[in-house]
Amino acid sequence: MALILGIEGSCDETAAAVLSGETTVLSSVVASQLSVHGKYGGVVPELASREHLRSIVPVVREAMQRAAVTFDDLDAIAVTSGPGLAGALLVGLTYAKGIAFSTGKPLITVNHIEGHIHAVVLEARQKGTPVEFPALAMIVSGGHTHMFAASAAGSYQLLGKTRDDAAGEAFDKVGKLLGFGYPGGPVIDKLAPYGNPKAVKFTIAKMKSNPLDFSFSGLKTAVLRWSQANAVDEEVRVRKALLKTDPSPALEQWLAVTPQRTLDVLASFQHTVIEEILNHAEMAAEGLEGIRSIIISGGVACNAGLRLAAAKAGLGVPVHFPSPGLSTDNAVMIAAAAVPKFDRGIFAGMEAAAQPNLTLAN
Amino acid sequence: MSSRTFHTADEEATIALGRELSRELQGAVLLIGDLGAGKTTLTKGIVEGRGAATMHEVSSPTFTLVHQYGDKDPVFHIDLYRLDEEHEVETLGLDDLFAGKSLVLLEWAERFPALLPARRTEIRIEPNEDESRTITLTNIEPR
């Protein structure tokens, strides 16, 4: 059973995890969720090297301690090499190289997007319902909206991606412009069941040249236009004031400051995004011969409305979601994506570079 | 300070204008306009015009903050939308980018005037009632 330390630091989060074999998670630490994080500057997004530098040592140490293992016990060190922010990636990569060099253990570089896919593969195995291939893999998050055909774990073909905004970005921007703070995705998900999803008709343009591409920019703009036409300034002001007194208001507090028409818009907006995601999944699945499952991963996979709609959509094959903790950026997924590489002896050298534009497949 | 104004009828025309402007743009270029104005759309044309990537490869950098297109003569596409504090922006190392020779396109950077180079280009994009846009380009020189 290989023991792998995974390190993730591609954008906002520094994370470390220890994985034993294919499915036994010995520890998973994410900097922003670490109680000691206060000491290191609170939950400021870790935009660049400086912030990651501050977190990486305590985060890796915490992961090793919780797993009760030492560097010498490890079989390999896995780290995200891209895509992401150059400065952020460099910190994780350099630190991982340092551990690999000093312990003589192999280094494995992992694509962040492949990590998201493996979060699902790992959990499906844990549940005893493994992902069967060929599969359709969708990554929907704040930074990515990508759809791949996976003939096997590790073999991907890009089917479509966003031409402008990522799905999670659309949620977060709509949340912000309506005064729900940033990122607003989780709040919209909570409030959407209280609105009428058919109240406002939003349309999304079909993509020329590749119908499997996505576009969410126009939808975001449509919500902006709605807010301008409906004089929402006063309610937005009230919600912003609420956020100042309480950075994470409870559902009842949000409902008290959100009129029905705005709940209807949130519900309609969320409904439109979900429909777009699931329509694309259906369209892509029809084109994949012998498809046996669908993977939906990334931060937007946390969306309860999406999970519910996917279950009801009758897509014909099992749809696998990660648990909320493994939907957003984490290091378990990086260690998990490294397992097949470890088994096949695909290791990186000390010259491995951070690749901000790394793609999974073209 | 010199300004020029352009009108584009639709998204495709905005991309075409980006391609055209890509030849003259250099250094720090601020793209200024509300949500949905077409900042990323114009960027598609500029990046493609420079030969750094195709327009389909250009997407919004809001979450990732920085997109780099091309390796040899890269174009940086930066979006500060989700940042609120100067110290957050400072950690991005924009100074290094401004000091280099690359073209640096910035969305929502006008909110952080203290962090911008004195010599820069500002492109304002205003949506009109129809699908058209009024686009004003201003070259700002150090005083």
DSSP string, B66-86: EEEE-SSS-EEEEE-TT--SH
ipTM given for this complex: 0.88
Query: Could you tell me the strand order of the sheet in which B28-32 lies?
Result: B2-8, B133-140, B120-127, B28-32, B103-107, B75-79, B66-69
Q: Tell me the CB-side half-sphere exposure of residue A221, using CA atoms within 13 A.
A: 19
Question: What pLDDT, on the 0 to 100 scale, is given for residue A51?
Answer: 76
In this structure, chain A runs to a length of 362
The confidence band for A34, taking pLDDT boundaries of 50, 70 and 90, is low
Q: Is the pLDDT at B141 greater than 80, yes or no?
A: yes
Nearest CA in chain A to B39: A164
C-alpha span between A203 and A58 (Å, rounded): 47
Which residues are CB-contacts of A362 (< 8 A; sequence separation ≥ 6)?
A158
Question: What pLDDT, on the 0 to 100 scale, is given for residue B71?
Answer: 83
Structural tokens at position A124: 């499906």
Considering only CB atoms, A47 lies closest to which of B34, B62, B91, namely B91
A164 to B41: CB separation less than 8 angstroms, yes or no = yes
Question: What pLDDT, on the 0 to 100 scale, is given for residue B87?
Answer: 85
| Region A324-340 average pLDDT | 96
More confident residue, B44 or B95: B44
Is the separation of the CB atoms in A80 and A90 below 8 Å? no
| Region A210-225 average pLDDT | 95
More confident residue, B71 or A310: A310
Question: What pLDDT, on the 0 to 100 scale, is given for residue A41?
Answer: 36
* Dihedral sign computed on CA atoms, order A321, A327, A333, A337: positive
The confidence band for A44, taking pLDDT boundaries of 50, 70 and 90, is very low
More confident residue, A29 or B72: A29
In 3D space, the residue among B132, B133, B115 whose CA is nearest the CA of residue B123 turns out to be: B133
| Region A196-216 average pLDDT | 92
| pLDDT tens figures, A267-281 | 999 999 999 999 999
Whole-model pTM: value is 0.92
Question: What pLDDT, on the 0 to 100 scale, is given for residue A39?
Answer: 38
Structural tokens at position B26: 């250099």
B56 to A48: CB separation less than 8 angstroms, yes or no = no
Question: What pLDDT, on the 0 to 100 scale, is given for residue A207?
Answer: 82
Q: How many Cβ atoms from other residues are within 10 Å of residue A251's Cβ?
A: 12
| pLDDT tens figures, A108-167 | 999 999 999 999 999 999 999 999 999 999 999 999 999 999 998 889 999 999 999 999
In this structure, chain B runs to a length of 143
Is the separation of the CB atoms in B42 and B123 below 8 Å? yes
Question: What pLDDT, on the 0 to 100 scale, is given for residue A37?
Answer: 38
The confidence band for A40, taking pLDDT boundaries of 50, 70 and 90, is very low
The confidence band for B42, taking pLDDT boundaries of 50, 70 and 90, is very high
Domain A133-317 has CATH 3.30.420.40: yes
The confidence band for A47, taking pLDDT boundaries of 50, 70 and 90, is low
Q: Is the pLDDT at A36 greater than 90, yes or no?
A: no
Q: Is the pLDDT at A209 greater than 90, yes or no?
A: no
A44 to B40: CB separation less than 8 angstroms, yes or no = no
Identify residue B88 by its one-letter amino acid code.
E
Question: For residue A245, what is the DSSP state?
Answer: H
Is the separation of the CB atoms in A142 and B63 below 8 Å? yes
Longest dimension (CA), chain A: 63
Is the separation of the CB atoms in A283 and A210 below 8 Å? no
Q: Which residues of B touch A182 (CB under 8 A)?
A: 82
Which residues are CB-contacts of A299 (< 8 A; sequence separation ≥ 6)?
A140, A141, A142, A168, A185, A327, A328, A329
Q: Is the pLDDT at A11 greater than 90, yes or no?
A: no
> Could you tell me the residue ranges of all domains in chain B?
2-140
CATH fold for domain A3-118+327-344: Nucleotidyltransferase; domain 5 (3.30.420)
Q: Is the pLDDT at A49 greater than 80, yes or no?
A: no
Nearest CA in chain B to A175: B82
Question: What pLDDT, on the 0 to 100 scale, is given for residue A208?
Answer: 81
Q: Is the pLDDT at A43 greater than 60, yes or no?
A: no
Question: What pLDDT, on the 0 to 100 scale, is given for residue A362?
Answer: 55
CATH fold for domain B2-140: Rossmann fold (3.40.50)
Torsion-angle region of residue A199: left (phi > 0), alpha (psi -120 to 50) or beta? alpha
B35 to A85: CB separation less than 8 angstroms, yes or no = no
Question: What pLDDT, on the 0 to 100 scale, is given for residue A38?
Answer: 39
| Region A252-278 average pLDDT | 98
Q: Which residues of B touch A164 (CB under 8 A)?
A: 40-41, 59-60
Q: Which residues of A touch B104 (CB under 8 A)?
A: none
Longest dimension (CA), chain B: 40
List the 53-82 stretch of B: residues with Cβ below 8 A of A: 56, 59-60, 62-69, 81-82
* Mean pLDDT value across chain A: 93
C-alpha span between B35 and A173 (Å, rounded): 9
In 3D space, the residue among A137, A132, A131, A239 whose CA is nearest the CA of residue A188 turns out to be: A239
The confidence band for A48, taking pLDDT boundaries of 50, 70 and 90, is low
CB distance from A40 to chain B under 8 Å?
no
| Region A71-100 average pLDDT | 95
Q: How many Cβ atoms from other residues are within 10 Å of residue A60's Cβ?
A: 26
* Domain A3-118+327-344 identical in fold to domain A133-317: yes
The Cα of B37 is separated from the nearest Cα of chain A by a number of Å equal to 8
Q: Is the pLDDT at B111 greater than 80, yes or no?
A: yes
Q: Would you list the DSSP string of A56-112?
A: HHHHHHHHHHHHT--GGG-SEEEEEEESS-HHHHHHHHHHHHHHHHHHTPPEEEEEH
In 3D space, the residue among A219, A191, A150 whose CA is nearest the CA of residue A361 turns out to be: A150
> Could you tell me the residue ranges of all domains in chain A?
3-118+327-344, 133-317
